[in-house]
Every structure is written in structure tokens, then in C-alpha cells.
Amino acid sequence: MGVSKFLISRALNMVLVLFATIFITIAIVGPTMDTILKRSIEIEVKASILQSKEVMIAFKDPKDLENYIQLQVRNAIESLGLNEPWYSPRRLWTVIWKLITLDLGQSYYLRSYSGSGNVREIILEALPRTILLFTTATILNSIIGILLGVIIARKSGSIIDKFASTFAVVSNSFPLWWVGMIMIIIFAYTFKLFPARATPLIPPSDPNYPLALIHHMILPLITLILIGFGGWTYVVRNIMIGVLQEDYITVAVAKGTPERKILYGHALRSAAPPIITMIALSSSGSLGGAIITEAVFDWPGIGRLYWNAVSVLDIPVIIGLTYITTIVFLISVFIADILYSVFDPRVKVG
Amino acid sequence: MLWYLAGCIVSNSLGSILLSVKGLRKWFPIRRGFLDFITMQPIRYIKAVDKIDFNIKKGEVFVLAGESGCGKTTTARLILRSIEPDEGSVIFNGMNVCNLRGEELKRFRRLVQTVFQDPYSSLNPRLSVFDILLEPLIIHNIRETNSERKEIVYKAMEEVKLTPIENFEHRYPHMLSGGQRQRLAIARSLILKPKLIIADEPVSMLDLSIRAEILDLMISLRDKYGITYLYITHDLSTARYIGDTIAIMYLGKIVEMGICEEVLSNPLHPYTQALIDAVLEPNPNNRFKEKKVRIIGEIPSPIDIPNGCRLNPRCPYVMEKCKLIEPPFIEFKPSHYVACHLLID
Amino acid sequence: MGEIYNLIGLLSSFKAFWDEYKRYKIGILGIFLLIILIIISISAVILIPIDTFKQWHNPAYWTRYPKAALPSWINYFTNTKLPEHLILKEPLVMKSESGVIQIFNHIYTIQFNYDTFPDDFIFNYLIKYKGSPPLFELSIIRPDGDRLLLIITTLPPKPFNLEAYTFNGSIYSTDRVIRSNVAHYLSERIGESISIMDIAPQFVIFSEKPFKLDSKVLKGTYTFNATFYTFDKDDQLLTSELIIGGKVFGILGTDELRRDLLIGILWGTPVALFIGLSVATLAVFVGIVYGIVSGYYGKRLDEIMMRINDIIYSLPALPFLIILAISFGRNILLVVLYLTVFGWVGIAKVARSMALQIKTLAYIEAIELIGASKWRVMLKHIMPQITPYALASIALSVPSAILAEAGLSFLGLGDPTLPTWGQILHDAQLYGAAARGLWWWIIPPGVMIAITGLTFVFIGIAMDTVLNPRMRKI
Amino acid sequence: MVDLKVENLTTYFFTRRGVVKAVDNVSFNLKDESWGIAGESGCGKTTLGLSLLRLIPPPGRIVKGSIILGGEDLLAMDEQTFKNKIRWRKISMIFQSAMNALNPVYPIGYQLAEPLIYHYGFSKNEALNLVKDALKEVKLNPSLIYRYPHELSGGMKQRVVIAMALILKPEIVIADEPTTALDLIVQSQIINLIKRLKWESKISFILMTHDLSMISEIADKVAIMYAGKLVELGPSEQLYNDPKHPYTQSLLAAIPRLRGEKKKLIFIPGSPPDLIDPPLGCRFHPRCTHALPICKEKEPPITHLNDAMVSCWLYSE
């Protein structure tokens, strides 16, 4: 099977997974969503009726009024299709169609900085900030990890290797967000080098906002790297040690290929496919994990948005975010596949 | 009791046909991706075994020889019904193996046993020698009491000279040498008193110095219990050492078949001839001359099988006809069959 | 293929495995830590009454404890000795009678050698009386011999409907009477009248003379004397308790909600071990069975099963955990279930690939051709080979389960009936502990999470090194 | 004039389980001829080959001995000199499995060009042109330089690996089981290729294999290795027609023949020893049918018989 065929089949697979994910999300939040929606419609309808005096006057008997309200509520529910269960084809199709067209609806409570309640706008406002922080961290981590991993793989068993491996294992065992709290104690409380909250105090419209954002980003970034690069180094080291045991490395040594060329050419090139996959997966995987980290640093990205949405149960925002996160994840998987086929000439998946 | 009697019957009726393979065919479809399915790509096949016929007589060693990928192992699997054929039949002892179900199939499994190439992976590493030999008895529910079963196991161990028994019965496979493992594998195949043992390259992974031991063991068991062997190999020298009848396979077809000694000393098919040329002999004079290599290149993939005679792109004697028509399988001399256009006219 | 076979051979007995395992220092260290964690868990369960941990989320239970107090060992490292929070329950008891009057004395003697003043003090008592309400007097004798009468009062009368009245009284240092008495004492000493509104009794009582704003603490022995005069022979002073509010408390200090962090940390251990081990075991079990069935049966079933696996793998785990916790509840067993749902996927993949490898080994075909059923092959000939791997992956899955649970708890989605390390950190975050520098509230839970994780990582790495010949040096 | 003198070469692996005595006091002398080193699996052939290239992976180490090529002791050289002057330039190697000896992510042309680039400083394009010639020499189409290893058949890969070993025109080429995993007919093709190279380019091959028949196709002199030791060595004719050591005799009698009279094969009972704890005295004695009491106690000395040398008590006084 050729590369293009391989990629097309991966793309089809991606779409399939995406739909399954949406379905599962709806299935989990669907029932909750329905009750909440119905209740809020009821309140809305009641409020609008009780506010308008003309309607009130028209009814003499409170029973009639009650019946009228019930009727209006039922109409409203029916017009939204809420009388059918969440799994009815019509409603599923509406939701899926809306998701495909990226029409993520209106939020219940949350608003964007500009005051808009459009879910897509709210998410698109937060997404770049998360990408700014976490993608930068992933890129820096992978660079440090690859360089360091290659060096210690060559000296596997040495003191520096043991030290680095231990650091990797130990640093990976601490919760990232906990380290974040410690970093705040050290650098924001004790030494007062960085602000404790990562959200800049000036409004986003201010021209200095991007600069302020970067200043506030330094502490979370340092934390992400401190905790992250060890793991990267360790994984790269392990892959490299495996590759360095291959016969073709011995052959390269025998041929007189300089060591640098062996490490960064032969070995790293062969180790590239899994490493590339790892970069792609972890740069998107971090979006999901961002929730807690952003909560600790109060970083105004999608993680904190997700957290806010969950705290007030803003279901449209939750679904929208889950959807966007999954899309980003799947796209990275797809990119990883493409890169894999670029770096590994053997790629042939049946 | 039946299994015991069966052995006696066999020894009395040497020469009659035990296993008959007729028009056996197995094409493996190549897995199509989702995309191939949509674009209506035709299904392509690996033509592993493409209509072969042969008979194995009771008590003989029938050799199926050929290079890797020629379909010999697939043939064995078809006979064992480890995979289902697309076409053709396998008649064993009067029953059509392809139609067996349930208890009948289980009985068949008891009568036909296998010995594999790799003595390292063909034994469950978690079981001791004793347990490995006990396993078939448990599966087939042979003899009720433990002491009776123990007796059978010990007897099998003695048979293959895994003695003294107390030294071996509690060992695990990794504590045995390659030769001992292969003897254990033979003991396991023997324990159900089979009529046919299919041995797939049983010595090719063993060191030279112990190969003869295994081959001799196999022959002695044949003489003692009248067991029939289907011996699968790429090594014509051991084939000659142990075989009675030989069939040479190339790309899913049998190209030549006959008495072992006859085929190997008077090969008729160019492929057989080339194979025999290629066999190495320990002779210091060889180093002064080039080896004769009659056919060129390497075996093509069994997906893209050439039209006509399958050997035609590599054959030194190729004729126009060879590229168009598949040669029939004829009895060129008494009991010596061959499929080659050169011999038809 | 050969590798996996050798591996299985190597591990054919537990002893062989252990001989190999114990060569790895890291593995020994892991087991050592595990034993410590188990000891902590057992002692937590035995030593700390279950009531205590059930009260974890009940603020009323913790009122006698200080607010956000540092751990008491901090005094060894600083020049200024901070007062320890004292909860004294064993006074010197004296009892005398004169006629119908009984006099109960509870005398607390404390050495107060700290450099800063206590926060406050509280005196609690429990008295039972039948007759006229008893008279109560609380006084203090300072190291310089001054005696201060803090309060003298009559207890409330016995309700008519009761035969005997058990009265639970509390005297706070902030009580108006005390402030007034102390103000009186102070104005006598400095010759100025003091408004009782300006008085914080502890700053006077524990201060050096002359009483100035920057006066230091008067170090020495303080005697609190509580005297009760009762008027019936059956009247009894049951218990009393003197709390000197300090700035340091216990081994780990307290949090903003006055909870003793030591209790939270100790009780967190068995909870974390339970969650970690049960999630890991369940996930590995499900993953292995799933993987073996998928790998061994192969073909279409495998295809379907692996697609399902892919889908779960692609779900963003934490968002979904949050959704699940909100939609279905956050009982500890449910949390275990949620974490399992996301935990088995990777293991199933590995188990499947191992099953596929083992399936290609000739002995599987051999046993099939002898006539063994599919179940027999899976249970007797595939499963045991994967078991050692399963044990290693259980060990390696524990840390991620613990981290995930801690994360959920940190977001406030943990089981609200249990103290967990994640929840302690959640509260710390809620009260801005990091930005306020309350390090003792943050460091121990994180360190415990890491140590517990490391324990299993160490064990897992050692097992994995034994099991994975490629990583092992000859 | 090639003159390789290996004396008392000893290579051990220092493992956790103990010291694996993979190559123990091996001596031979190669002069403008091809050698075959025969031995069963695990006898130390590959380690011997890697020792000659000083490529023993840790925890292995050359413990003692000397390898003298053209008067220079290769083991006394510093690594840089050895790398620049000897390895691949004078001694190269055809590695055991062609599949694993080629890096899957580089086109084969580049892999063949590397020695030219790093030893002689050719530019990549110049080197690739020379590679094309080298491919022609092993009967491969020069256009293959842009192909990746997985696109070639087994026989082609084997030819590529041979071309790689020859690219710097070395004096000595070590071939470690050069035809394992190849089909019979392809094996003959490769043997013919090696023969032609030997005749035309005057390269001395050191062929290491378990297959005595294959050695007879190429080697002028043969050494038989058992459990890390050389037990017998001598000219081909001598060794095949009149083997001295009981091990050699048994090995030859264990080979099934396709031609000539059908003889009963013999086998050697038992299995080769563990090299961590080899038997005292002669390492072959537990499997030897001619074993004398002294064989269990003292290692046999080397006895010269005509052109051959044998290490066996049967031939020594």
C-alpha cells in the first residue's frame, strides 16, 4: 500500500473515531443536559409571562394561567426538540450537524472577554493561549530531551546516565500542578520574581497585553519544562539504546562513520518515527492535561475555561471543548502518521 | 483400547495408501484496506498451494521439499486442518479430513501429530517435561488414573531416551539442549500413538553434530511402530537420508515426484536439477571451480505468479510454450512424475 | 520471538524471578518504600479512630485546633521560638470539702519558653451538678509571682425538669469578663486606665514588665488554676481542658480549616494505596483478558475490538473523567471505575501484541493440533506467559492511577467522605496557600503522592528490566 | 602480500553470571589465502570475527594476545589509528544477517558511500559514482543506489552487504555466515560471487560458518573451533581427507551426503558446554569417544602433524 493510500485510510479512521467520541460525549452528558435545559426553559417562559401585565390580566382564574404556562413551556420544549430523548436520530443528527459546521451554539453562563456568548468565540479566544504555553513547552522539552537523551544513551550506565534517569523518573512522579504550587511559593511568594497568578491584570484589549501575557507565562513554562524534560530524555534514551544495539550501528562504526554522525544520523534518524509520534501526541495530549495546570497558575486558556464550564455546568461549552480537544488530538495523530511515513521509508500498513 | 489396536493394523498393511491429497488449493486473499474496498480493487491472492495431488503410503517417509515460500508448510497445515482449503480434498484413512467435525476431528487430531522446526518455541516454557507429555493425555482424556498416565509418559520418555527419567521429568524446556528438546517434541507427538507424524524441518535448527540423532530416532520409531512420516524440508541431503518418496514443490505446485533415490540421482525437472546442483558437499576440490547455477534470480513473490510454467522466467531451457501453457503433471517413468514441457514431446 | 520465549523460560519459577529481581537496587528500594507505606496505612487505621477521618470535612470538629499553624519542629530551625499549640487534658486534680461545699481544683502548669505570644487560650470543662449552680473561678499565676484573677462566675442554674445537669462550659481569652479583668490588672501596673476594647489578654498575661507595646514574652512557668465550688455531695467536675492557642502544631501543622494535616496525610495513605492498586489491578486484568481474546481470536473480532480500543484511547481522559464525575457521582468506587475505564486501553494493546507473538510460537500451534480447545489454549498456554508482564504493568499503572485520582480530587471531584492528598491540595489551592507561602500545607501531600508513585515505579522498573531482555545488560 | 598473525587471542565477556570465555587462546596465521573457521552455534566464531575488527561490544573485552598485520600489532594501536588505517580499509566484514546490517532509513547507495566519504574524503556525488561501480561488481543494477533496504530481496541485500565490505578494497574480508536465511539457489549464487572476488581481487576471506561444506567451497585453510578454542587447523585437503581431531572426524561424519553411497550418519552425544564454566582439561572430553584419563585433567598441547596442527592428547606424547 502506498503512502497516499495509507494516509487516506488513516484520515477515514480519524473521522470514525471523531464521531464515536462525539456520540460518547453526548451519551454521557445528554440526560443531564436535557433536565437542565428543560428547567431553564420553564423558568424563562414563566418569567416572560409573569412579567407581561397584559397576559396576566387576560387570565382570571390562576388555574387557567397555570395551564397556559404549561402549554407555553411544552411548545418551547417541542420547538427545541427536547420532547424527544437525546438519542433520537433527529436530535443526534442536529447535534452532529452543528458540530461538523462548528456551530457550537450559545453558552449558558460563560462569556468571552468581549462579552459574547457564542461558544465557538469563547473557545477560540482561549485556545491560542493554551497552545502558546503548552506547545512552546512541548517543543522546548522535546529539543532538550532529544539532545540530552542522545548524549546519555551513548553513555548508558555512566553516572550522568544514572543521574538523568533518576531525575526523569522522580520528576515524573510529582504531579505537575503540585510542582506548580511549589514554584509559586518559591518564585512568587519567597523571591517575588514572577506574578503568582498567570492571568495578566490588564484587559486583553490593552496593546501591552501580549507582553504581559509572556511575562506571566514564564513561571508556568519553567514548571512545564522542569517536570517534562526528564521524561522526554528518558524515553529518547531508551529508544536510542535500543537502536544503538542494532547491527547496522555496529556496521556503521566498522565502516568508520564518525561518532557524531552515527548518533545524530544513523541512530537518531532510525529512532525518529516513534519520537515524532511522541511529539505530536504529547503536544495535543497536553491540552487535556492543561485543565489542572491552568487552574493552578490561573492561566486563561482552554483548561481553565473547561474548569469554569464544569463548575457552573455550562454544557454547551463542555461539549464544544471536548469536541475541539478531540479534533486537535486526532489531527495531531494524523500529522504524526504523515511524519511517520516521511521518516520511515518502510511505512506500509495493511 | 482403540488407539493401541490401530498401531497393529498399520504394521500389517504396509504399502496401502494412508493419506491422499487431491486437487488441494489454498489462495490467501491479501487484506484489502477500506480504500481498496471502496475503489473496487480486485482481490489479490497469495497462491500458496495451487492444486496439488499426492499419496502417502502407510509406513513410508514422504518428503515434501522446496525453498522457502514454495507452499510446503501451507500444505502441511491444510492436511492438519489448521487452515481450511479452498478446493480439493484430503483423505486420511478413508475419511475426508475437510469434513470432520467435533469428536471425529478430535480423533483425527490424535492420529496425526506434528513435530516443528524450532525446538525452542515448540514447547510451552512454563510446563515441565512431565506436564508437556501429560497435556495430550488430558486433552484426549486417555486413561483415568494418574498412575496409568504416569506410566504412559515414562514410557514415551524412555522411547526417546530422555533418561534417566528422574533427571528429566521435572526439568523445564530451557534447561534442555536443542537435541533434547526435539526429542521431547517427538515424545509428545508419540504419546497418542499416531499413525502419521508431520515433521516440518525437524532438524534444520539443530547443530550438525546432533541432527543424525534425531533422524535416526525418527527412523527407528517408524520401524518399531509403523508410523508414517510427512517430512518437510529444504535440505535434500537429509531428505535422501531419511526419505522413501519425494515431491519437489515450486511456487505452490509440485513439479516433480517419485522415489527419493531415483529423483535425486536422475532429476528430470530443471528446477530439481538446479536444487541438486546447489547442494553443498564437503569437498576441498570445490574451491577451484564455480558452482553450477542453472537458474537465475530469486523466487518471485507468490502473488505475481508467472503465466504458463511457473519457472519460465528463470529457466535456462525456456521455450515459447512455457510462457503460455502450464505443463501437465505426467508419469514420465514408472512412479516418477514431472511437470515440464521439455519432457512431453 | 526468541526473546519472548527466553523471557518466559527465565521466569518459569518465582524463585528464578526473585533471584533476578533482587539484583536491582531500585527494586529493593521500591519494596522497602512499599513496606513503609503499608506500615503507615496500618498504623493510620489502628491509631487514628475512624471517627476522626469521618470528621475530616466537618469544620465544627476542628475548632480546638489552631488555624494554619506551622509544624512544631520548625522551632528547631528558627531563632524565634513560636508557641506550640497546646491542648492540655490532664490537670493536677485536687478536691477538698468543707461541709456541703466541695471544692474542685484543676491546675495546669505550663512551661512557656517561646519567643512570641500565644494566639489565645480556651478553657473547656464538663461539670455535673444537682444542687445550686456551682461557682467557678479561673486564675493564673505568672512566673514573676503575680496572680491574675481572670474570671469568677456562677454557672447557669439547673433546668427544673432535670435531676442532674451536665454542663459543658467554655471560657475564651476573648471573653469580655477576662478582658476587663486583665485591663484592670494592667491599669494597676502602669497607672493608666485602659479601655477593654484595646486589650488582647494574651499579650498582657504573657508579657514582661513593664507592659509596653514592644515588651517581650515573659518566659517561665505559668499556672492556670480553675476552681469550682459545688453545693451538693454528688456534684462532680468531670473533665477539663486548657488550650493555649499557638502558632505551631504537631508534626505537620494545620490548615486554614484548623485540620490536623498529619491525620489527613496518614489517612490519605491507605486511600491512595486502595485507589492505586485497585485501579491498576482492574485495568490490567481487563486489559489482559481483552488483549488476549482479541489477539488470539484475531480476524474480524480483533478488528472490532481494536477499533473500540482506539476510540477510548482517543478520548481526552481528564475532560471525560470530569464529565463522568459530574454526571454519575464521585463515590470512591465510582472513581475507581472511571479511572479503570481509561486505564486498561494501553495494557490491552500490549497484551494483544504479546498474545499475537505468543500465538506465533510453535507450541501454541502444537497444542492446537493435539486438539486443545481455544479456552484451554488461552488459559493454560497464553495467560501464564503474560502474567509476569501483568504484574509489572500493575506496578507501573499504580502511579498514574494515583496521579489521576489526585488530579480529580484537586479539582474538587474526589470522594467527599474521605480525606485524600489531592483534596488537601484542593483546599490549599482554594485558600491560596501557595501565594500565601503556606508551604507545610502543600509540600507533604505532594511528596506523599510522589513517594507512593515512586515506590511502584521502582518496583515496576525493576520488574520490567527483568522481563524486558532488551533493556537488561547481560 | 597479506600476512595476518593472530596469537593467543583471548576475548572474554564479563557478565553478571560470570566470565564467558568466548575466545580462548586462539592462534593462526593467514598468508595470502582464505581461511574457513568452522564451529557450531555459540562456539565463539562471531566474537573472533569482531575481535579482529576490535568491535567487541561491552561487557566483552580482548583480554590478551596479539593480532599482527604486516608487522604491526593491531591491538597495540590506539583507537584512532586503528579506525583510520585498519578497520574497513585493510580488514572488513560481511555481517551475519544482511537484513540487520543495513539501516532501514537510509538508501543503500548512501550506506555504501559512507566509508568512501569518511576514509577518503570523497564528496557525496563522487562517492555515489564509485558505489555504482561497486554494485556492478557484485552483479547488481547501479540504479539501486536510491532504493531502501526493504525494497530489495534477500539475495540482493546480501550482495549489497558484500559490496559494502569490499568498497575500500580491503586485504582481508571476514564473512560471518554470509548465506544464512538465503535459499539454496541464491546461496550458490552468493558463493560464486565470493569465489570470483577471491580469484579476481586477491582478497583473503575468513569465512566463519557452521557449514563445513560451504567452507570447502572457499577456504584454502580451515580451522575448527569448539567451545572458544581452536581444536584443529590445517590445509583444506588435509582437513577434509584426513581429519585428526575426534571432533572434526565426527563433524564430517555427521554431514548427510546427496551424492555417492548412502552411509549411516554419526552424531555426537551431549551438547556444547557453557562457556562460563567449561570442562577442565580438553573441553571436548565429555562428548569424546576417544577420551583418555588425561583429557579430563590437562588441556592438550598443540601438536604439529604434517601441515596441520591439532590440539588433542591422542597425538601428543
Check residue C5 and give its pLDDT. 52
Complete domains list, chain C, with CATH: 14-55+260-473 (1.10.3720.10), 72-244 (2.60.120)
Q: What value does the mean pLDDT take over residues D113-125?
A: 93
Contact A181 C471 (CB under 8 A): no
Q: Which amino acid is at C31?
A: I
What's residue C7's pLDDT?
A: 53
Site from A35, A130, A181, A337 to mutate, C interface, most C CB atoms within 10 angstroms: A181
Q: Are A95 and A124 part of one and the same domain?
A: no
pLDDT for residue B345? 66
* Per-residue pLDDT at D233: 92
A159 and A282 belong to one structural domain? yes
Question: How are beta strands D204-209 and D172-176 bridged, if at all?
Answer: parallel
Q: In what helix (H) or strand (E) does residue D20 lie, and over which residues does it extend? A: strand D19-31
Nine-digit cell string for B303: 502473488
Asked if the structure places residue A114 within a domain, the reply is no
**Which of the residues in chain A have pLDDT under 70?**
1-3, 32-33, 36, 285-286, 288-289, 347-350
Nearest CA in chain A to D115: A255
Asked if the model's pLDDT at residue C68 lies above 50, the reply is: yes
Distant-in-sequence, close-in-space partners of D112: CB < 8 Å, separation ≥ 6: D131, D134, D135, D145, D160, D163, D164, D167
A96 lies in the same domain as A128: no
Domain boundary among A49, A72, A100: A100
- What is the per-residue pLDDT for B2? 41
Q: What are phi and psi of C112, to 5 degrees?
A: -110, 95
Query: Alpha helices, DSSP H only, in chain A?
Result: 3-51, 53-58, 62-80, 89-100, 119-130, 136-154, 159-173, 176-183, 209-244, 247-255, 259-261, 268-297, 302-312, 315-343
Question: Residue B13 — pLDDT band, cuts 50, 70, 90?
Answer: very low
Which pLDDT value is given to residue B268? 93
Interchain contact A4–B (C-beta under 8 A): no
What is the domain partition of chain B in residue ranges? 2-13+53-251
pLDDT at C40 over 90: yes
Q: For residue B259, how many other CB atoms are within 10 A of its CB?
A: 16
Are C351 and C292 in contact by the 8 Å Cβ rule? The answer is yes
User: Using an 8 Å Cβ cutoff, are A204 and A305 in contact?
Assistant: no
In a domain, A349, yes or no: no
All chains having 3 or more CB pairs closer than 8 angstroms to chain D: A, B, C
Looking from the CA of B176 toward its CB, the CA atoms found within 13 Å total 28
Q: What is the mean pLDDT of residues B8-32?
A: 74
The span from the CA of C68 to the CA of C253, in Å, is 7
**Terminus-to-terminus CA distance in chain C, angstroms?**
18
**Are residues D59 and C473, on separate chains, in Cβ contact within 8 Å?**
yes
A40 shares a domain with A164: no
- For residues B183 and B161, what is the distance between their CA atoms, to the nearest angstrom? 8
Evaluate if residue C473 carries a pLDDT over 60.
Answer: no
* Domain end call among A55, A70, A100: A100
pLDDT at residue D29 greater than cutoff 70: yes
First CA to last CA distance, chain D: 37
The pLDDT assigned to C65 comes to 87
Task: For residue B1, name the pLDDT band (cuts at 50, 70, 90).
Answer: very low
Interface partners of chain A (CB pairs < 8 Å, 3 or more) are B, C, D
Residue B22's beta-bridge partner residues?
B89
Res. B337: pLDDT tops 50: yes
C-alpha cell at C182: 486583665
Asked whether residue B291 carries a pLDDT value surpassing 90, the answer given is no
User: What is the SS3 assignment for chain C?
Assistant: CHHHHHHHHHCCCHHHHHHHHCCCHHHHHHHHHHHHHHHHHHHHHHHCCHHHHHCCCCHHHHCCCCCCCECHHHHHCCCCCCCECEEECCCEEEEEEECCEEEEEEEEEEEECCCCCCCEEEEEEEEEECCCCCEEEEEEECCCCCEEEEEEEECCCCCCCCCCEEEEEEEECCCHHHHHHHHHHHHHHHCCCCCHHHCCHHHHHCECCCCCCCCCECCEEEEEEEEEEECCCCCEEEEEEEEEECCECCCCCECCCCCEHHHHHHHHHHHHHHHHHHHHHHHHHHHHHHHHHHHHHCHHHHHHHHHHHHHHHHCCHHHHHHHHHHHHCCCHHHHHHHHHHHHHHHHHHHHHHHHHHHHHCHHHHHHHHHCCCHHHHHHHHHHHHHHHHHHHHHHHHHHHHHHHHHHHHHCCCCCCCCCCHHHHHHHHHHCCHHHHCCHHHHHHHHHHHHHHHHHHHHHHHHHHHHHCCCCCCC
- The pLDDT value recorded for residue B7 is 39
Taking an 8 Å cut-off on Cβ atoms, the answer to whether A181 and C315 are in contact is no
What pLDDT does residue C471 have? 45
Q: Does pLDDT of C450 surpass 60? A: yes
User: For C154-181, what is each residue's pLDDT tens digit?
Assistant: 999 888 888 888 999 899 988 889 999 9
Note whether A96 and A183 are same-domain residues: no
Quick one: closest CA in C to B128, which residue? C12
| Chain segment C334-384, per-residue pLDDT in tens | 999 999 998 899 889 889 988 998 888 888 989 999 888 889 999 889 988
| pLDDT tens per residue across span C289-309 | 999 999 998 888 888 898 888
CATH number at residue A212: 1.10.3720.10
Please indicate whether, in this complex, the C-beta atoms of C5 and B124 are within 8 angstroms of each other. Answer: no
Q: Give the model's pLDDT for residue C13.
A: 63
Instruction: Say whether both A149 and A262 belong to one domain.
Output: yes
pLDDT recorded at residue C270: 93
Q: Are residues A214 and A85 in the same domain?
A: no
Comparing C17 with B156, the larger pLDDT belongs to: B156
Percent of the residues in chain C that have a pLDDT greater than 70, as a whole number: 96
Band of residue D120 on the pLDDT scale cut at 50, 70, 90: very high
Give how far Cα C291 sits from Cα of B97, C112, C417, Å.
32, 66, 36
Task: Answer yes or no: is A323 within a domain.
Answer: yes
B touches which chains (3+ CB pairs under 8 A)?
A, C, D
For B79-127, how does the pLDDT look when each residue is reduced to its tens digit (9 = 90+)? 999 888 999 999 998 889 888 888 889 999 999 999 988 888 888 888 8
Residue A190: list chain C partners with CB under 8 A: 437
Q: What is the mean pLDDT of chain C?
A: 87
| Residue A271 resides in a domain | yes
D70 touching chain C per CB within 8 A: no
A214-241: buried (b, 16+ CB within 10 Å) or exposed (e) per residue?
A: eebbebbbbbbbbbbbbbbbbbbbbbbb
Whether residues A188 and A329 share a domain: the answer is yes
- Residue D82's pLDDT band, with cuts at 50, 70 and 90, is very high
- Give me the mean pLDDT over the C92-105 stretch: 88
Which pLDDT value is given to residue C197?
75
CATH number, domain B2-13+53-251, options 3.40.50.300, 3.30.413.10, 3.30.450.40, 3.90.1570.10: 3.40.50.300
**Banded model confidence at residue B37, pLDDT cuts 50, 70, 90:** low
Q: Do C320 and A322 touch (CB under 8 A)?
A: yes
pLDDT in tens, D255-276: 998 888 888 888 888 888 888 8
Q: Are residues A89 and A174 in the same domain?
A: no
Of the residues A100, A135, A152, which one is the last residue of a structural domain? A100
For chain C, list residues whose CB is within 8 angstroms of any CB belonging to chain A.
307, 310-311, 314-320, 322-324, 326-327, 399, 403, 406-407, 410-411, 425, 428-429, 433-437, 439, 442-443, 445-446, 449-451, 453-454, 457-458, 461, 470-471, 473
Please check whether residue A310 touches C, CB under 8 A: yes
Please name the residue that has the C-alpha cell 539501516: D103
Task: Name the residue of chain C whose CA is nearest to B139's CA.
Answer: C372
Cβ-nearest to A257 among D93, D104, D114:
D114
Q: What is the mean pLDDT of chain B?
A: 87
User: How far apart, in Å, do the first and last CA atoms of chain B sit?
Assistant: 55
Across D196-204, average pLDDT: 89
Give me the mean pLDDT over the B280-297 stretch.
Answer: 87
DSSP D285: G
CA dist D194 and D188 (Å) reads: 10
- Greater pLDDT, B294 or A178: A178
Q: Residue A156 is part of which domain span?
A: 120-343
Query: Does residue D223 sit in helix, strand or coil?
Result: strand
The one-letter code for the residue type at D152 is L
Please give the tally of structural domains in chain A.
2
> Does the distance separating the beta carbons of C8 and B110 come in below 8 Å?
no
Q: Which of D84, D87, D148 sits opposite A345 (nearest CB)?
A: D148
Residue A200: inside a domain, yes or no? yes
Are A95 and A126 in the same domain? no
Decide if A143 is inside a domain. Answer: yes
Can you tell me the distance from the alpha carbon of A229 to that of A231, in angstroms, rounded to the nearest whole number?
5
The predicted model gives C445-461 an average pLDDT of 92
* Least confident residue range of B74-83, B328-337, C8-17, C301-310: C8-17
- Chosen from A4, A6, A7, A8 to mutate, greatest number of chain B CBs within 10 A: A8
Of B336 and C311, the structure prediction assigns the larger pLDDT to: B336
- pLDDT in the model for residue D317: 63
Per the CB < 8 Å rule, is B35 touching A9?
A: yes
Do A167 and A76 share a domain, yes or no?
Answer: no
Q: What is the ipTM of this complex?
A: 0.79
Judged on CB neighbours under 10 Å (0-12, 13-18, 19+), C96 is exposed
Give the residue, A166 or B1, on which the prediction is more confident. Answer: A166
Contact assessment for residue A136 and residue A214, using Cβ atoms and an 8 Å cutoff: no
How close A153 comes to chain D (CA, Å)?
14
Q: Are residues A157 and A268 in the same domain?
A: yes
pLDDT surpassing 50 at residue D303: yes
